[in-house]
Amino acid sequence: MLERLNQAMEHLEACLDQKVDMAEVARIAAMSEYHFRRLFSALAGMPLPVYVRRRRMTLAGAEVLAGELTLLDVAVRYGYGSGEAFARAFRSVHGIGPGEARRTGAVLTAQPRMSFRVVVEGSTAMRYRVVEKESFRVVGRRARVPLVHEGVNAAAEAHVESLDSRAIVRMKSLVGVEPEGILSAVVHLTDSREEGAEVDYWVGVATHPGTAAEELDALDVPAGTWAVFDNHGPYPSALQELWRDVFTQWFPSNPYVTRPGPELLRTRPVEVGMETDSQLWVPIERVA
């Protein structure tokens, strides 16, 4: 799978001066376009269109500084029908317009070419199992929070602290299926996994379909396959490292891709820095 991903990236790189057929890129990676976009975002930390735009503007920036082509010729070469559209894209990446860059010889921003490899040194030991699970319902409280890759997520912590004892008691009474106990669930609203991207963050329990939520929020989760990872380490750094390693090492090395659904985390509440046992559930499906 890792080799196919890199072949897809080579093909994408060769198409930067024309319209990129993302379906063809995904075909080379041996997966659907939907799954390729989701996997790329998870691995790269940015949506695929953002990477393509940054790479195009990196190449375009070099040509703008070289001064051999007119700005309109550079714009047309990289697929922009007008100088204005090209200037907007150029400014979004470099912070200045192409005309200003050519006049002043300003410092531009380069997006390096991406390739994927498995890094073993210092990685989290990933003990996992694959589980086929019937449909279920998450019942709890939901909040919209930004993604935080390192350190404490203040917005998520505030959401947890806002839960009153009555809500927690009610949740515990509804526990019905695995993973048991109070858990958190993250639902990604877009393909982006960049720092600061907004997600729906749930604190609740897994229970049977149709369980009455009453004053709580409810999230229905369809039947499917899950990869379940066990983890032990200091909170929250060990969990964040596990999340990173699942998407940068486990997925490229195994015949699975993510599918729509919440990512579930069960862990004991602890103080920052304390050791804790955790379990991460990621919705997956096997690559055909």
Residue 122 domain flag: no
The tokens describing 8, both together, are 């897809």
- Percentage of the chain lying above the pLDDT 90 cut: 48
- As a whole number, mean pLDDT of residues 138-147 equals 94
Residue 159 domain flag: yes
Residue 118 domain flag: no
CATH code of the domain containing 211: 3.20.80.10
- As a whole number, mean pLDDT of residues 88-115 equals 87
User: What is the structure's pLDDT at 128?
Assistant: 83
What's the chain's average pLDDT?
A: 87
In this structure, the answer to whether residues 100 and 133 fall within a common structural domain is no
In this structure, the answer to whether residues 136 and 277 fall within a common structural domain is yes
pLDDT tens digits, residue range 16-67?
A: 988 899 999 999 998 889 888 888 887 887 889 999 999 999 999 989 988 8
In this structure, the answer to whether residues 149 and 67 fall within a common structural domain is no
Residue 112 domain flag: no
pLDDT tens digits, residue range 208-217?
A: 999 988 889 9
Of 202, 197, 204, the residue nearest 167 (C-alpha): 204
Residue 109 domain flag: no
Q: Which of 60, 89, 104 is the last residue of a domain?
A: 104
In this structure, the answer to whether residues 63 and 171 fall within a common structural domain is no
Q: Which of 104, 137, 153 is the last residue of a domain?
A: 104
In this structure, the answer to whether residues 263 and 153 fall within a common structural domain is yes
Q: Which of 104, 137, 169 is the last residue of a domain?
A: 104
In this structure, the answer to whether residues 152 and 90 fall within a common structural domain is no
Residue 228's DSSP bridge partners are 129, 281
Greatest CA span in the chain, whole angstroms?
71
Structural domain total, the chain:
2
Residue 237: give the domain boundaries: 127-286
In this structure, the answer to whether residues 84 and 142 fall within a common structural domain is no
In this structure, the answer to whether residues 30 and 150 fall within a common structural domain is no
In this structure, the answer to whether residues 26 and 72 fall within a common structural domain is yes
Angle among Cα 262, 263, 267 to the nearest 5 degrees reads 130
Q: pLDDT-derived band of residue 121, with 50, 70 and 90 as boundaries?
A: very low
DSSP 13-77: HHTTTS---HHHHHHHTTS-HHHHHHHHHHHHSS-HHHHHHHHHHHHHHHHHHH-SS-HHHHHHH
User: What is the structure's pLDDT at 123?
Assistant: 46
The tokens describing 55, both together, are 């790479």
pTM (predicted TM-score): 0.68
